[in-house]
Chains A and B, each alone.
Chain A
Amino acid sequence: MSQFWEFAFKNLFRNKRRTLSTATAICVGFVGLNLLGAYIYRSKKALDATSVYSAQRGHISIYKKNAVEQYQVKPRQYVLTKKDIEEIQIVLKQYGDSVDYTSTKLSATALISNGTKSYPVVVYGFEPESYKKSLQQKDLLLWAKDWVIPSQLENLDIFIQNPETISLTQRIGEVMALDYPFKSSEYLQLAGKNLDGDLNAINVLLGAEHTTGLQFLEDTVVLLPIQKVQELLSTDSVESFSIYLKTFSDTNDVIQKLRQHFDKMKLNYDVFRFDDVAINSMHQGTMGFLYVMGGFFVFLICTAVSLTIINSLTMGIIERTREIGTLRAVGFKVQQVIELFTKESILLAALSMLVGVILSFMICEIVNKLEIKFFPPGASQKILFILNWNVGIAASVFVLLMLVTWLSSYLVIKNKMKVKLISLINDSGENS
């Protein structure tokens, strides 16, 4: 068996130029897919981290049944009351090992006013303690540092110290003609309909800033401690309950158990994963686009690699027709000849991809070191172009291209083996 590998290896050097060009094509395809995979992997990790921690959704969000569709229309009927929260917390005690911390959220539409001008905004209410914990999470700082403003990390306790503090984006500050950086001595007003349908207004203290990371939300979203949002809406209820797990990998398991538990106890709650399209269409939309784009490139590169191997092998077979005939004449079985040629291609692909592993890793490192900034579509500001080289992706691409190589070479040589032995021996190789 090892002799076959040895033969195959030696055969690679019979036409060095062709071997090199085929190897280059496979290597470039491998590197391309790896870099694309590294970008998609980074994007997914960044979106996951921002969805869970920046947007305060947690790994799991619990809403009143149908609240996602109905909360904006009939908020009073679709909030989670204190009793609901207690019920959820009792159920959650069973998953204590998986849960890191929990929090609640409440959103409202309102007018923000500085006494002379009013501007419509969406207010996201959060618990100051969980805000602090979320911003300190390793995953967020590792994958989505661009979406956290330095002042947010410097003033982690600002909402705990003063729950009247509101966080604005720089864009809203510009619209409201506020001095930047925001001073904590200025009071603004938030006015909006409370859950009874009456107009209500509260005072909020300027002092914190954030970024949504998204262009279309940058002039819309303000952050405020939940107790102030409750004051604005004249309620002690919340919109959703967020569960932060110790690891991402537990998410699906805990969701499944929670759903079963709620069904069994006939509790009317909806449980969502952080990237569920119902609560996070942005995540689904972005990743969907990246996956489609990735799939398209995988198809293109696999086709190119396959055609290169078919072309190279066909040329080789034409030149080595007599050799194949001789091998068959001295007792080699059809399957053994196929194996020999297939092993040549597999060996070539493996060596090319090993070089590709080193190349792709080096390109990722160089690109990351260069700290290139770019505007991703729909982003509110430039972010670092980071490529996260990943063993899993490299292994997947390796296996995929190996399969493509094996299949392409097998089909070519199998086809040639249909020719009769006498025709193979007689073939000069130049006109077959």
Chain B
Amino acid sequence: MKIKKIILSLIICISYCSLSRASENLANQLLQASDRSRGGVKDGIQWVAKVESSESGEQTNREFDVKANGDNAYVEAIAPAKNKGEIYLFNDRNMWFFKPSLKKPVSISARQKLTGQAANGDIASTHYARDYDPVIEKTENLDGEKTHVLLLTAKTKNLTYDKIRYWINDKSKLAVKAEFLTLQGKAFKIGYLKYQNKLTVDGQTFPFVSELKIVDAKFENNKSIITYANPKSTKLSPSLFNVNNLTR
């Protein structure tokens, strides 16, 4: 009788561990797949990001040329004219700001507000699979489609957000909604994503993000719309992402 009980307990334990392992694997797979369509690919890619912000009744427009390669990104402001030449360099998880008049680049935080609701970290490629620990919270229907709701917790302190609630479409494996949470778990910004672009990498074509709308959770009129244009695969030299080369 005792042996039976032990075997039963073992079976339950093993089943539980297997299920949670499977759930963890699924969460990671979903995150990796969704990252790919937000620029998180190993090869070099390039796109133009236009940021239209509306805050407290004031409108601002910014335009950036984004070059990403793996964990690095080189973001150059191209409009308006007064900001032309300003560079944001993402070196792994470190971030630098540079403009031609500076003698040395300045280390800045990815959390810092770039413009409107968009943080510095929002304009570069997304590497949530690398930066966050995912847990599947639930599955729900969003716009009539089955969606997995993941809770992402930051692995380190220098990331753009501490916690994110992330909706990934079960069928397309694309992230469609994100709630950016405070440490206490309250949403302070909500992001909505669209994928009308296509990107071909290594002969494989897949949908690529075309719009990220970030809305203030309390004041809906305060929002930023990041439009992604002309995404393309390109070869990028590693020296482009070397912070020491900014001043040369």
Contact = CB atoms under 8 A, between A and B. Distances in A.
Interface of A: 74, 111, 113-118, 187, 189, 191, 193, 196-203, 234
A191 B103 contact: no
Given A191-B97, A201-B97, A201-B99, A113 B114 contact: no
Contacts of A199: 86, 97, 108, 112, 114, 120
A118 B111 CA distance: 14
A117 B94 CA distance: 11
B104 interface: yes
A196 B80 CA distance: 12
A114 B60 contact: no
- In the complex, the 8 A-B pairs of residues with the closest C-beta atoms, listed nearest first: A115-B104, A113-B106, A191-B106, A118-B107, A187-B103, A189-B106, A203-B103, A201-B106
Contacts, number: 53
Given A74-B56, A198-B82, A198-B83, 17 more contacts: A111-B106, A111-B108, A113-B104, A113-B106, A113-B107, A114-B104, A115-B105, A118-B106, A118-B107, A187-B103, A189-B102, A197-B60, A197-B113, A198-B62, A199-B114, A200-B99, A201-B99
A82 to B, nearest CB: 20
B224 to A, nearest CB: 12
B115 interface: yes
B96 to A, nearest CB: 9
Interface of B: 55-56, 60, 62, 82-83, 86, 97-99, 101-108, 112-115, 120
A269 B233 CA distance: 57
B179 to A, nearest CB: 24
A162 B46 CA distance: 43
A198 B115 contact: yes
A116 B108 CA distance: 10
A187 B104 CA distance: 8
A187 B86 CA distance: 19
Nearest to A116: B107
Contacts of B112: 199
Contacts of A189: 102-106
A153 to B, nearest CB: 30
A203 to B, nearest CB: 5
Contacts of B114: 199
Nearest to A198: B83
Contacts of A234: 82
Contacts of B82: 198, 234
B183 to A, nearest CB: 19
Residue among A74, A115, A118, A196 with the highest chain B CB neighbour number at 10 A: A115
Contact of A191 (B60, B108, B113): B108
Contacts of A203: 101-103
30 contacts: A111-B107, A111-B108, A113-B107, A114-B104, A115-B104, A115-B105, A116-B107, A118-B108, A187-B104, A189-B104, A189-B106, A191-B106, A191-B108, A193-B113, A196-B60, A197-B60, A197-B115, A198-B62, A198-B115, A199-B86, A199-B108, A199-B114, A199-B120, A201-B97, A201-B102, A201-B106, A202-B101, A202-B102, A203-B102, A203-B103
Contacts of A74: 56
A424 B101 CA distance: 99
A202 B98 CA distance: 10
Nearest to B105: A115
A116 B105 CA distance: 8
B246 to A, nearest CB: 10
B60 A117 contact: no
Contacts of B104: 113-115, 187, 189
A200 B60 CA distance: 16
A20 to B, nearest CB: 70
B128 to A, nearest CB: 24
Contacts of A196: 60
Nearest to B53: A197
Contacts of A115: 104-105
Nearest to A76: B58
Contacts of A117: 107
Contacts of A197: 55, 60, 113, 115
A74 B106 CA distance: 25
Residue among A111, A116, A201 with the highest chain B CB neighbour number at 10 A: A201
Nearest to B112: A199
Contacts of A114: 104
Residue among B60, B105, B106 with the highest chain A CB neighbour number at 10 A: B106
Nearest to B86: A199
Contacts of B62: 198
Contacts of B86: 199
B201 to A, nearest CB: 31
A115 B86 CA distance: 16
Nearest to A113: B106
A198 B101 CA distance: 16
